[in-house]
Every structure is written in structure tokens, then in C-alpha cells.
Chain A
Amino acid sequence: MSAQSRSLLDPALIAPALGSALKKLNPRELIRNPVMFAVEVVAVVATILFVRDLLAGSGAAFSGQLAVWLWLTVYFATFSEALAEGRGKAQADALRRTRSETVAKRLTGKSNAYEEVAAPALKVGDLVLVEPGDLIPGDGEVVEGVATVDESAITGESAPVIRESGGDRSAVTGGTKVLSDHIKVRITAAAGSSFLDRMIALVEGAERQKTPNEIALTILLAGLSLIFVLATVTIPSFAAYSGGAVPVIVLVALFVTLIPTTIGGLLSAIGIAGMNRLVRFNVLAMSGRAVEAAGDVDVLLLDKTGTITLGSRQAAEFLPLPGVRASQLADAAQLASLSDETPEGRSIVVLAKAAHGLRGREIEPLDATFIPFSAQTRMSGVDIGATKIRKGAGDAVIAHVKALGGRIPDELGEIVERVAREGGTPLVVATDQRILGVVYLKDIVKGGIRERFQELRAMGIRTLMITGDNPMTAAAIAAEAGVDDFLAEATPEAKLALIRKEQEGGKLVAMCGDGTNDAPALAQADVGVAMQTGTVAAREAGNMVDLDSDPTKLIEIVGIGKQLLMTRGALTTFSIANDVAKYFAIIPAMFVALYPPLGALNVMGLASPQSAILSAIIFNALIIVALVPLALKGVSYTPSNAAALLRRNLLVYGLGGLIAPFIGIKLIDMGVAALGIA
């Protein structure tokens, strides 16, 4: 928040915005915003009237000032948009620099022979070689090799990530840098349509299209403006009946104060700022539509691992078989884990020390050989001399022990089943052909996640946990985390079917995923957040990409979507409620000459008809500037149910919108009268 308020006043952003706001006054660009376009037309009319008054030599001071404030009204609106775009532009420029002059090493034949070509000349399907220190020339898929890649150009995260062929970490992005090893990459995106290009276009707002809700709101505002056109154009003939006339400059002033200029002026800034908030969260929305949909989400599908539980499991208990001492089991397990750098392995070392006072030992003096985990054996362990200590999945260790001629105790099955029922993972430990017992690896539910789910429930959003675990384990974790429901032994097909089922009931579903097999579900979900670490297929299927690859962010994304819609609604309500006070400023000023008793309607006690009209116009212009920070930051938002949110916002922006302009116009009028400018 503090970083944000600082950046709002950042002169580096404000200065260019002042200039580009001027360019946006071009009527061809402004016509996309009917309300502000109307103000511009009216400003032109006022300027002509000013010139006329100047030539006639009377009243030019008044019409001149009105014309200036009308132009300022339009300018403030375009300024707010330019300021909102400014942030994105700065980011886009940084991105663009990384794209420049990359040279690609296109492979020519079967061997590693390559020719150097400019990156933009690459075609989809080309194979390129990328060596340490090279920038990856385009989006693609690793087809051979493993490499560490610095993706900070895109994610801002300086820690390198691993990219390897096959599996779910095969996607590479153009503009990122290979740090070690060399890889072969098949190009999957043509120049100009790469991820980086799309990202630049998105943050810059070049491709910004109005979102469905924004279009609907624009129509509403245009409709209201039309009603006020009717209300103003008929006034001259009413006045004629009443035996007088109303100057055109006063009519245009009334019209501009009545039409919803506040929301009309800030509408596009709100939309851009909403996208920028996501970008600041390191989430890229492929369309504004997706951000809006996020606010509407009814069901969140969350992967258990990494979202609800910590990515790793932790040893919670040593469960020895009968005849084995717990410390004996702990000792063996610790030895087997000393060189095991996985979080599970480390947690076993820690637990053994905490529960049985066994200190971690150096492995070299023991003449030990560490046996790393492999997908074939599904075990890891250590060989100390002739002694083979192994830990691993139940069936793998059983097979291993049987192969050595060992016996499988009957009690083992019971223990393994109990651990699974409680939501844990059993890790069986054996020394040579003797099974010692089980290490209870527990899924650790993230701290505070339960409260987050409660908040979501209050907002009317259901959480659904997706896990590959068996239903027993899944139920235990679901209960501990406090999710509303779970899908156990989830397959990609089951996930897709679940999303379809929820959607048929009229619900909007959000999910995140990274693997190729997640792609159909990501495409089907209303909000599909693909992880940056994921596959190309996943990234193509989703409508958002999370650069940090943090699935918990789905919750924040929903919040940002809601905040965007709330900000629009709040400023619309405020804008319309303002009209009451403006009528009370201008109508008596306009008609008091026709019927002097109407002076009683001047409830604010404004100094003179001219100062009343001028003050209303000034208020109308200044309120846009005053609300720019709110539009860019979004209204404050605490998750709660809709009725409470509505009551609060109606009070603040509805009632506030009724009262604020009475005070504001009065204060400006006092200033105007004191300066004697009207």
C-alpha cells in the first residue's frame, strides 16, 4: 500500500501522463467514451461562446472561465487514463529491452551444427540450440536437455528455475537467459505473437478492449446522458413560456454537471488500474474479461499440494513395529536421510533429533554411500559398509525386503493403513531384510488457510480441494483445512467433468494448473490460472498466467476482480448521487430571474447565480482529480457477505455522494466569491 501511494505521486509517472493526456483529447480517440466526448463537444461550444462574448465585449470573463473548466474536466479524465497507463508503459519498456537483438542458433541437421539467424526470422517448428549465457530466442518447448534458466526478465524473480524436456517444466519463454547446461528448444510461437509480445501489449494497454461489464456501464452512462440532453434542451422553451431566456453557456454548464462525468472520466482508468494490480501481483490476465469473471467466481478448485498444504510432507512420528524400539527406528531413519536433501528427508533428521536426541552426523566418516531416490526403485537410503538402510513407499520396501529374503510382519499393514486414514503418508524403513517400522509423514496444512476459506465462504465462494490422494486421506486433510468439498483420486477427466457439472448449475469456476493434462480443465474453467513454470499447453489454455507460480494466488485474483467491479459501482453511485446537489446549485441560479421567489431553492446560500454555476462546474472538474487515487487504488475491500458490503458502500458512496457536493460546492463558492471572479 505504501509503495503504491508513493508511486501515485511519482513525478516520473505524472510528467509523461500530463503530455499523453493532451494527445488523448483527440476527438477520434475520445469518442470511445461517450460521456467525455459530450463534455468535449460542450467545451468547444463554450469556447465559441467565449470568443463571441469577447468580440461583443461583455460577459467574456464568465464564459471564459466556464470554458476553461470544461476543458479541464475533459483533460482530468484523459489524465487519469494516461496516468493509469503510465505504470504499464514503464514495465513494457523494460520488457522490450530484453527482446532486442537476440541471435538464435538454428540447428541445421542431425548433429549439433547450427547457423546463426536473427530471432525474428525463426519460424514455428524450428529447432534451436541454447547454450549457457544465451538468451532464449523465442517461446518454445525443451525437447532435449536440462538447464537452469534466469526468468527474472519476465517474473522479476532472480532465483533461476529448472527447465527440462518432457514433463510439466518444459516450456521456455523468449527473452529469458540460460545459465547452465545447454538445451534444444522447438519454437512454438512466431515472432510478434510470443508470450513476451503479448505481455508487452497487455501491460501497455495497446490491445485494451472494453470488457463486457465496462461496455454495459458505458451504455448506462450514455443513456443517462441522453436523458439529461432531453432535460436541458427543453429548458429554453420552458423559459420562453415563463417570460425569459436562459443563456446557452448556462445550459451547457447544467448539462455537463448533470451527466455522470465523474465515473465517465474515471471508467477506463479503473479498468487499467485493475489489470495493473494483477500485474503487480505478478499475474498476467490475457483479457480484462477474465479479471471481471474472477469477481464472479462461485467455486474455487484448489490443488491440495502447494495450495492447501505445504508442498512437502513432514515427519511427524516414528511408528516402530513390535519388537523394535522407537529410537532404533529413528536412528535408522535418520541415517537413511542424512544425505537426503528433500524437505521430507530433512524433516526426518530434525524429528529424530527432537524426539530421540539423535544428532545429525557427518556421513563421510561412516564410510557410507548415499542411495538417492529414483523413480524405478521408489526408495532412497544409505549403504554403510554391508548394511543397507532403505526408506520408501510401502510396496517398494516390501518388494525390496522380500527380494532379500526377509519376512513381512503382519502388523505393518495395520500401521500403514492407519497413517493413510489420518491423512498422512507412510514411509516404511528397513535395515537389510528387517522392516523396522513406519515414519508418519504428514501433510502440513498451511497456516492461516482455514481462515482464508472461512472468508471465502462468507463471500459466497465454495472451495473444492483437488488431490490425487485416496478418498480417506483426502477427507482427513479436507476436514483439517476446512474446505467445503474435495475431489479425491482426481484425474484430468474427473476435474473437467467436475467443472462442467458446476457450470451447468450456473456457477463460475476458477482453477489453476500447470501440467499439459490440466489444459482441458484450464480452458473449460471460467478463470484458468496457468503457472509460469507450467507447460506451453497449460499456458495457452488458461486465461491468466501466474509468473510466481503460486497457486494460493487464486484467492487474491478473486479479490482483485471483485475490487475492480466494486470501484466501478461505487463511483457510478457517487456520480449519480452528486446530481441532486448540482441541481440545487444551478436551477435556482438559472431561474431566479424568471421567478424571484425561486431564490428560496438556493439552500446552499451561494453568493450569486454566476458564482453558483461556476462553483458547480469547478466542483465537477475537481472531483475527478480528487478521485483519481481511489480509481487507481480501488475502493477498500474486506471480504464479507454481499449484504454487508452493499450496506457499507451504499452508505459511503450513495449517501456520501448526496452530501459531499453540497459541502464542496459551498466551499468553492466561498472561494470564488472571495476572489471576486464571478
Chain B
Amino acid sequence: MTFNGWMQIALFCAIVLALARPLGGFLTRVYAGERTFLHPVLAPVERGFYLLAGVRCEAEQGWRSYAVAMLAFNLLGFLLVYGALRLQGALPLNPQGFAGVTPDLALNTAVSFVTNTNWQSYGGEATMSYGSQMWALTVQNFLSAATGMALAVALIRGFARRSAKEIGNFWTDLTRSILYVLLPLCVVLALVYVAMGVPQTLQPYVTAKTLEGADQTIALGPVASQLAIKMLGTNGGGFFNANSAHPFENPSALANLVQMVSIFAVGAALTNVFGRMVGDERQGWAILGAMGALFLAGVAMVYWAEAGANPIHAALGLDPAGGNMEGKEVRFGIALSALFAVITTAASCGAVIAMHDSFSAIGGMIPMVNMQLGEVIVGGVGAGLYGVLLFAIVAVFVAGLMVGRTPEYVGKKIEGREVKLTMLALLCSPAATLLALGVASVSPLGLAGLQESGPHGFSEMLYATTSAAANNGSAFAGLTANSPFWNVLLAAGMMIGRFALIVPMLAVAGSLAAKGKVPPSAGTFPTYGTLFVGLLGGVILIVGGLTYFPALTLGPVADAFATAAGTTY
């Protein structure tokens, strides 16, 4: 570990922290329908959309109607992506003449992009036409991110409102997320990326003669526009197979910093939106604090693990001072690779700049743990916030009893109904992950995709099922997942991890909104300050982590001890 490495990590954290409050203020105004500096231009556009769609933006919905609208919208999105991929061969903007995508891969990819997972069983430049990248995948990048943001705001309203039946209007929240937040930021970011050297073209791939005289095909395409939303919307689906390790998808250290910051920007700002909407910004900072503590612990562990050398390599005479550079871009090195790996898995993004499969056992375990904790360390845009609020409900319920009152969080009493729905929501991801892993580890079809045997092979499967259920989308590599078995299994995991959680979560929002607010007093358990930060972090670790203890033991933990002992499989 180097001072320089730590400074890069510190710089990243400082920028994210500095952005959280101003961006949070802006988002709060947008969702409240108040005027912002973008309104003179965009307000007529927004009204135009409502007029076209026949939406009355002031008509609010109860949680059921909100959920139905959200599900219907996502179902339509799924069908459009699936159709576009299957019919790719017949659709325009296909200069490489790619054929239609196979049914299982199209199913997997459509689910993947609708659920904001962006798990890719395919290599972009060898499978997807420019048209598919643009109208199927990039569009869905916006829509799935906006869906997550809308849902988070709906849950916040549940906490903020008193004795209300409605939690907002899905169509309005969705439109505003895209129109005022995602689109303007992405336009700016895409231009920035282009300026840094990211391609943005509809020209066919370029063929070049190398120095040895061989032909080399250089893949191009509308990369910058997809890259912008891929990061900002925590989608993570790469334009190229190598994702952000590809020089065209991540041309420089500065571009890398911009990408890292844009992964966390909206998620961190939403904690501030929460604080503002419930009328006490400290509540938001406490949540960000718990996220930040878990994040820094993860970064420190991965950085430490990767800066150390592989003992097996060292025994063979390799200089241990270089650390573990296997599978890493030399341009980014160990500190940034470690930082990026933690960011992308903490935030449900899934973009990568290094191969996590090649990390040391512990270095690869932390990204898995990040996802297994429920993607609540900043998390996916929106999804991270509603996830962490569910954990906050559990934390407050368990520990809040210890102050001798019916537990309450930001003035809302947490009672049987909320506990039931919250537990239901929190069950989804472990169920999807562990059951899928259980099936895969005894099925010849599942094992067929493995590159490694022994604990590391188990880690590859664990990572894949975790990534799907947590809607992260990053891959450990090593597992060849483009088979009907894995495509269908992971698609099921992604669906459960997203929608089976959202519905009870919205019900919590509805139930909370209907309650009155309890004014705080000296007898109320204060949900800001270090005590709550520690408590929330502890509950996330214990409730989220204990579930995966056996699986992690047989995967990365066994891997780590075996590596230390010089055992290979």
C-alpha cells in the first residue's frame, strides 16, 4: 500500500461527499416539483410528455397503484428489449451484420437490463449491433435507473408524510428522474468522455494493419453516450466485453475518476434527499456515514489483500513487492483497481476495470460481501437507499426496544406490519442467491461453465449467483455463463432480487405514509450520530453477513487458507 494510493482513495471520497449535499438539494426540489434552473427549458417538455401519455401529474397514487404502474412499465420494457434483441438481424444500425440473439441470452439480457443488473452473458462487440446497444440497452439503462430513483423517493415519502394514503405518482417520478437528472448529467458526461477520447460514432469497426502486417479489427460505436449512463445509473453493462478496462471505455486516469464519482454521485445524494424530506439532514448523513464506514473497511481490506503478494507465486521466485497484478490494467494499478472493485460492487454498478477473478481470495471476497449485504453501501441508484432503509427498520426495531419504547424511525412507529414486510423483502436476495447456488453446485450443467475447480471454482459460482440476485451485474470471470442453464437461472435470480423485494418495500412505504408522526423527545432513540451509524453498520453486517457465512467459508475463505498453505486445486 502506498501513500499515493491512499491519496487517490481520499480524493474520491472527498469529491463524493462534497457532491452529496448540493445534488441532494437539487433532487429534492425536482421530486417536489419545485422550480430549478432547468425548468425554463425542460418544464414545457415535461408537460408535453404528460399530455402525450395522458398522465395527470398532480394525481398521486397509493402504494398498490404505484406498484402496478411500475411493474407494468417494466414488463413493457422487458418485452421491448427481448423483441429488439431477437429481431436484431432485421433491424437497422447493424453495420457488422450481427444475427438475432438466442432466446435464452435475449431473456437473460432483457431481464438483466430491466432490473438494473446489467449482467452480461455476452461480449458486446461480438454480439450486439449499434442499434441494440442504443435503443434496447442504453434506453433501458435510463429507465431502470429512473425506476430505482422513483421507488426510493416513494419510500422516503412514506417516512416523510403523515396520515397520507398516497406515496407519489410513479409516472411523474420516473419522468422527472430522467428529464431533470439523468439526461442532463449524461449529456454533459458523454461530452466530457468524448473530449477525453471515448469514441461516439455509428461508423463500422475499423480494420488496421499492425506492425507485423496482420489485420486487426478495432471495435467502435456510440460508446460515450452509453458509458455516461452506465456509471451514473449504476448499470455497469459495458459497451465492450472488457468493460471499463478497455481503453476506449476508460481512456485515462481522469476519465476513471469521473466514472468512479458518477457511480456514487446519485446514490450518495439520495441519502441527503432522505434527510431533507424527513426534515432533518442529519438522518441522511447518518445513513451515508454507515455506508461510508462499511465502504472504507472494504476498500482497506481489498487494497491490503491486493498489495500483498500471492505466496505461491512468491515461492516460485516472483518479487513479492509488486503485489498481485494479475488481471489488472497496468494503467490503473493496485490502489485504483481495489478502489474501483469496491465501488462497483458496493454500488450495484458492476462495471469493472480489473478481473475480480484474478484478485486474491480475500480481495475477491470483499466484492462478494458488498453485494451479499444487499447492495446497501451507497448501492444502486434508488435501490441502495430503499435497501438501507429496510435495514434501518430492522436495526431500529431490535435496538430501539432497548430504550423502552415501541421502536420508531424518523417519527414513524415500526410495528408488526412493517416488520413483516421488511423481513419479506430482506429474504428475497439471500433466497435467490443461495438456492441458485445450491442448484448450480450439484448440477452438471452448472459445473460445465467453470474454469477452476476447488474453492475458487465455488467462488466463481457464488459470485455469479450473488451478482444476479443483488442486481449488481459484475462478473468474476472464469465462469462461462452463456449457456441456457446459467442464462435462465441467473435471469430468475435477477427478477427475484429486484421485483420480489420492491413490492413489499412499496407496501412498507404505503403503511408508513398512513401513520401519524411521533414528535421526537428525549425518550426517542436518536437515529443520527455515531451510535446509530455503528448500530446500522453492525446490523447490516450481522443480518446480511451471517446468511452467507457457510458459502463464503467454502469459497473465498477456504481459498485464502489454501493459498496461504500453498495448496492448489
Taking a contact as CB atoms under 8 Å apart, the answer to whether B403 and A237 are in contact is no
A313 in the interface (beta carbon within 8 A): no
Q: How far is the CB of B400 from chain A (nearest CB, A)?
A: 7
Interface of chain A: mostly helix, strand, loop or mixed = helix
Q: How far is the CB of B532 from chain A (nearest CB, A)?
A: 9
A642 vs B520: C-alpha distance when bound (angstroms):
11
Query: Given that A242-B458, A576-B398, A598-B561 are known contacts, is A223 also in contact with B535, CB under 8 Å in the complex?
Result: no
Taking a contact as CB atoms under 8 Å apart, the answer to whether B558 and A650 are in contact is no
Taking a contact as CB atoms under 8 Å apart, the answer to whether B521 and A298 are in contact is yes
One of B398, B414, B553 near A569 (C-beta < 8 A): B398
A597 vs B568: C-alpha distance when bound (angstroms):
12
A505 in the interface (beta carbon within 8 A): yes
Chain B residues positioned under 8 Å from A224 (CB to CB): 423, 543
Taking a contact as CB atoms under 8 Å apart, the answer to whether A258 and B546 are in contact is yes
Interface of chain B: mostly helix, strand, loop or mixed = helix
One of B403, B458, B553 near A241 (C-beta < 8 A): B458
Chain A residues positioned under 8 Å from B423 (CB to CB): 219-220, 222-224, 226
Q: Which of A557-609 contact B (CB under 8 A)?
A: 561-563, 565-566, 568-570, 572-573, 576-577, 579-580, 583, 587, 590-591, 594-595, 597-598, 600-601
A12 in the interface (beta carbon within 8 A): no
Chain A residues positioned under 8 Å from B399 (CB to CB): 569, 573, 646, 649-650, 654
Chain B residues positioned under 8 Å from A646 (CB to CB): 399, 402-403, 525, 531, 535
Taking a contact as CB atoms under 8 Å apart, the answer to whether A220 and B557 are in contact is no
A573 vs B564: C-alpha distance when bound (angstroms):
35
One of B401, B427, B549, B558 near A583 (C-beta < 8 A): B549
Taking a contact as CB atoms under 8 Å apart, the answer to whether A296 and B405 are in contact is yes
Query: Given that A230-B547, A583-B549, A595-B455 are known contacts, is A566 also in contact with B441, CB under 8 Å in the complex?
Result: no
Residue of B394, B431, B558 with most partner-chain A CB within 10 A:
B558
A215 in the interface (beta carbon within 8 A): yes
B561's nearest neighbour on chain A, judged by CB, is A597
B448 in the interface (beta carbon within 8 A): no
A645 in the interface (beta carbon within 8 A): yes
Chain A residues positioned under 8 Å from B524 (CB to CB): 460, 642
Taking a contact as CB atoms under 8 Å apart, the answer to whether A458 and B522 are in contact is yes
Chain B residues positioned under 8 Å from A461 (CB to CB): 521, 523
Q: 1/0 per residue B395-411: CB within 8 Å of A?
A: 00111111111100001
B420's nearest neighbour on chain A, judged by CB, is A219
Residue of B398, B399, B400, B542 with most partner-chain A CB within 10 A:
B398
Chain B residues positioned under 8 Å from A234 (CB to CB): 434-435, 437-438, 550-551
B424 in the interface (beta carbon within 8 A): yes
B554 in the interface (beta carbon within 8 A): yes
Taking a contact as CB atoms under 8 Å apart, the answer to whether A505 and B519 are in contact is yes
Taking a contact as CB atoms under 8 Å apart, the answer to whether A216 and B397 are in contact is yes
Query: Given that A238-B550, A241-B458, A595-B554 are known contacts, is A561 also in contact with B538, CB under 8 Å in the complex?
Result: no
A323 in the interface (beta carbon within 8 A): no
Q: 1/0 per residue B550-569: CB within 8 Å of A?
A: 11011001100110110100
Q: How many A-B residue pairs have CB under 8 A?
A: 222
Chain B residues positioned under 8 Å from A653 (CB to CB): 402
Taking a contact as CB atoms under 8 Å apart, the answer to whether B431 and A230 are in contact is yes
Q: How far is the CB of B123 from chain A (nearest CB, A)?
A: 27
A227 in the interface (beta carbon within 8 A): yes
A507 vs B518: C-alpha distance when bound (angstroms):
6
B419 in the interface (beta carbon within 8 A): yes
Q: Which of A627-670 contact B (CB under 8 A)?
A: 637, 641-643, 645-647, 649-650, 653-654
A566 vs B399: C-alpha distance when bound (angstroms):
9
Q: 1/0 per residue B202-232: CB within 8 Å of A?
A: 0000000000000000000000000000000
7 contacts between A and B (CB under 8 A): A223-B424, A226-B427, A238-B438, A506-B516, A569-B402, A591-B558, A598-B557
Q: Given contacts A460-B523, A649-B403, A650-B402, could you give 19 more A-B pairs where the C-beta distance is less than 8 Å?
A: A216-B416, A217-B401, A220-B419, A230-B547, A231-B549, A460-B521, A461-B523, A506-B518, A562-B405, A565-B405, A566-B403, A569-B398, A569-B399, A587-B549, A591-B554, A594-B554, A595-B455, A600-B561, A646-B399
Which A residues contact B (CB, under 8 angstroms)?
A: 212-213, 215-217, 219-220, 222-224, 226-228, 230-235, 237-242, 258, 292, 295-296, 298, 457-462, 505-507, 561-563, 565-566, 568-570, 572-573, 576-577, 579-580, 583, 587, 590-591, 594-595, 597-598, 600-601, 637, 641-643, 645-647, 649-650, 653-654
